[in-house]
């Protein structure tokens, strides 16, 4: 069965992954997606201070380890807040099943 993606505002069919509705020009993007992407990038960047801390802790310097932990926590907070925005936002697209095709001869 094929699925049809419709705009929640005007119920017209839109392309899957579209950012704007072609009929009513409504915004179809989810509000927290960008925040989540930034959060994951920041969390990945926390690997840099952690790798420096691997060498620096041998010399009893724990500053890079603390910086890496703070950056990781900040990235995870961004991801969680972005997911919260996605969950609390009203639904912008409706996914419905396509009507079954009838074969008439």
Instruction: Give the CB-side neighbour count of residue 31, counting CA atoms within 13 A.
Output: 10
Residue ranges per structural domain of the chain: 3-97
pLDDT attached to residue 42? 94
Q: What does the pLDDT read at residue 5?
A: 79
What pLDDT does residue 70 have? 94
Q: How many CB atoms lie within 10 A of CB 51?
A: 12
- Alpha-carbon gap, residue 24 to 41, rounded angstroms: 34
Mean pLDDT by 10 residues, the chain (105 residues): 72 80 81 90 91 81 89 95 86 70 58
Strands of 1-105, DSSP E: 3-7, 93-97
- Residue 28: closest CA among 44, 17, 43, 12: 17
Predicted pLDDT of residue 1: 43
């Amino acid at each position: 069965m094929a699925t049809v993606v419709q705009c929640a505002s005007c119920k017209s069919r839109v392309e899957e992954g579209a950012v704007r509705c072609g009929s009513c020009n409504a915004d179809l993007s989810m509000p927290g997606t960008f925040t989540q992407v930034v959060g994951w990038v920041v969390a990945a960047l926390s690997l840099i201070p952690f790798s420096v801390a691997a060498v620096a802790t041998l010399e009893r310097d724990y500053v890079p380890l603390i910086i890496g932990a703070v950056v990781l926590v900040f990235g995870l907070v961004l991801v969680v807040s972005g997911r919260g925005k996605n969950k609390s936002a009203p639904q912008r697209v409706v996914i419905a099943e396509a009507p079954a095709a009838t074969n008439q001869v």
